[in-house]
Amino acid sequence: MLKHRGFPSRLAGTDFQFTIRRAAKSGRATPLIERKRHADRRPADRRADAAFMAALWAQFGDEPFPRGNLDAGRLSWLFGREVVAAEDPFDPESYDALLRIDVARARASFPEIFDGGGSA
């Protein structure tokens, strides 16, 4: 499992995890799924999504990147919308699976990151 050096491990001051420490003993990662985001999500959850997207953008930009040690739960809140598969076939249980940011959708969902130039 590739560890993304320099990537924040969590949202500062919270328990919102961005990375995992070690690979599963089975060698298979927790599957990525498309989690539905509802409009009434807590502000803290929205801040975590925005901070994670800002970290992804700062680390990878619009280039494909391996899933590596990125947390499946946090990725799943963005997967299928702002973060999409960058390979076909895509294995949602592989640490080596390639992902990429769908910049147009990410910009629409998180304009403060892409248009404001700042981080969340």
Share the mean pLDDT of the chain. Answer: 90
pLDDT tens column, 2-44 = 899 899 998 988 889 999 888 888 888 999 999 988 888 899 8
Q: Give dist(CA 62, CA 20) in Å, integer.
A: 23
120: confidence class by pLDDT, cuts 50, 70, 90: very low
- Whole-structure pTM over 0.95, yes or no? no
Domain ranges of the chain: 43-114
Burial of 12 per CB tally in 10 Å (0-12, 13-18, 19+): exposed
Q: What are the pLDDT digits (tens) for 62-95?
A: 999 999 999 999 999 999 999 999 999 999 999 9
